[in-house]
Copies of this chain bind each other. A is one copy, B any other.
Amino acid sequence: VSARSLLLALVLGSLLASSALFAPRASRATQDQAAVPAAPAPFDVSRWRAEVERIVAAALECGEAPRMLRELCTLAPHRLAGSPGAERAVEWALAEMQRLGFENVRKEPCLVPRWERGAPELCEIVAPEEARGERLRILALGGSVGTPEGGLEADIVRVTTWDELAAAGERAHGRIVFFDRPMDPRHPDTFQAYGGAVDQRARGASAAARAGGVAALVRSMTLALDDAPHTGALHYEDGVERVPAAALSTLAARRLAELCARGAVRVRLVQSCRTLADVESANVVGELVGRELPDEVLVVGGHLDAWDVGQGAHDDGAGCVQSIEALRLLKQLGLRPRRTLRAVMFMNEENGTRGAQAYFAAHRDDMARHVLALESDRGGSVPRGFTTDANPRALETLRAIGALLRPAGIESVDPGYGGVDIAPMAAAGVVLVGLRPDSQRYFDVHHSENDVLAAVHPRELELGAAAMAALLYVAAELPEALPRNGR
């Protein structure tokens, strides 16, 4: 998941949720739906109980998602859109889907931005004297401009709220603004904690510039206290000067805050990152063509690009291989459903969502026959449920499917988010669904060097793939298509 999801969240006002620490998931959506007249009885899906059981057993016995993830993460550990790694990932996905015998395997082209980190960043304390020369671990934020050659040197002004920045007034002029509001650990759902802090990463650079600052340093978006900085995209506002911005590890942020509490702090910042011209890249698509209604399509996907640190194992190698695995499992079991299942590896989710836009543009005329889109982009941890924007009648059916997965640990299908890459399809009434893995460990690794293969548990990964395969299979097998969302 990316800063784009944050921006969407900001737009949708979901930051309000962060004031309610312990709110049931998507309680507002539930309340809204209470006003809708009672839906007709959902399709009876219990006839597919045996197929669901077979899917789960096959995944746990001889699933291939861990093997695929190992291949992707070792062939293309760094695969930010436009990079050579991203192209290796595209070729891997293409070859893998062909090898598995998927149908209509193809690239669908898109232009993507190309941002390069350049040489490793440097953040060094200049003053106070007793800390001079100490280095703080940072990572430039995705999309950030570099510093002038040789770096920049400035005093720090530390803020934890937008109000504090406004109140800083003159004190922000010529300074580096240090955004130090941590994720709130009291949220049981770490995505709520993320949503309550990531505005600093997305908007900090432009806010610093508007206040007269020369750069932004942002406490990493994680609940872990360690020395790994977590990058992620920033959003430069139009018409505002673009200043460099980087994420500090949480240990580095703690150190800097300690120094700030004692007096003036001055640091030197060096970043050589830059944005180059757009380059051509692609989404990668493969299908299990429907047995009876091949023109009706259910999309399942993740995003193939990942940040340029770690291996993008959870974000979103997991979602990619789970999507491929979902189709592979059904193929292995001879379960070709009535409608077409289409796996889409989206490109450039992290810093542009160009793949998502390209998919929607290329298939715009076909959207009326897109029945459902499912995304896995919240990591490969043990699956707990699904979230969806489905209308009440479709929701009831999805809940009945979810209930078949109860023994596999799927506890709920709740109103909520689908995914960044499938989001454009909402405008066409396509029902969006997101896999909801357990969230406790995700932000320990997200967008950092910690997001490696060893952090993904093979059975947890497979259980997610199995849940996706089962949901897709039953939804694609229904006698009547799932009711579309109204506009």
Which A residues have a C-beta under 8 Å from some C-beta of B?
21-25, 53, 56-57, 60-61, 185-190, 223, 382, 384, 406-409, 411-412, 438, 440-441, 457, 459-460, 463
Contacts and interface: CB of A to CB of B under 8 A. Distances in A.
Contacts of A441: 457, 460
A70 B459 CA distance: 27
Given A188-B408, A411-B412, A457-B441, A53 B463 contact: no
Contacts of A438: 382, 409, 438
A190 B457 CA distance: 14
B407 A23 contact: yes
A408 B24 CA distance: 9
Nearest to A444: B457
B60 A185 contact: yes
Q: Is the interface of A mostly helix, strand, loop or mixed?
A: loop
A276 B457 CA distance: 40
6 cross-chain pairs, A with B, having the tightest CB-CB distances, nearest first: A411-B411, A57-B186, A22-B53, A188-B408, A440-B459, A60-B185
A59 to B, nearest CB: 9
B24 A407 contact: yes
A61 B411 contact: no
A57 B22 contact: yes
Nearest to A438: B382
A382 B56 contact: no
A69 to B, nearest CB: 16
In the complex, which of the residues A23, A24, A459, A460 has the most CB atoms of chain B within 10 Å of its own CB atom? A459
Nearest to A190: B459
A336 B438 CA distance: 32
Contact of A25 (B21, B60, B407, B412): B407
B188 A61 contact: no
A463 B459 CA distance: 22
A79 B50 CA distance: 46
Given A21-B53, A56-B22, A411-B411, A185 B61 contact: yes
A188 B407 contact: yes
Contact of A24 (B185, B190, B406): B406
A50 B408 CA distance: 31
In the complex, which of the residues A24, A25, A438 has the most CB atoms of chain B within 10 Å of its own CB atom? A438
A414 B223 CA distance: 31
A438 B438 CA distance: 10
Contacts of A61: 185-186
6 contacts: A23-B407, A24-B407, A57-B186, A60-B185, A188-B409, A440-B460
Nearest to A459: B440
Nearest to A21: B57
A60 B463 contact: no
Nearest to A405: B188
A24 to B, nearest CB: 5
Given A22-B408, A441-B457, 19 more contacts: A21-B57, A22-B56, A22-B407, A23-B407, A24-B406, A56-B188, A57-B186, A60-B187, A60-B188, A61-B186, A185-B459, A188-B408, A188-B463, A190-B459, A223-B459, A382-B438, A382-B440, A411-B411, A440-B460
A460 B224 CA distance: 13
Contacts of A223: 459
Nearest to A406: B24
Contacts of A22: 53, 56-57, 407-408
In the complex, which of the residues A185, A188, A384, A407 has the most CB atoms of chain B within 10 Å of its own CB atom? A188
Contact of A384 (B185, B186, B409): B409
A188 B56 CA distance: 8
A228 to B, nearest CB: 15
A58 to B, nearest CB: 8
Contacts of A460: 440-441
B411 A440 contact: no
Contacts of A60: 185-188
Contacts of A412: 411
Contacts of A21: 53, 57
Contacts of A25: 407
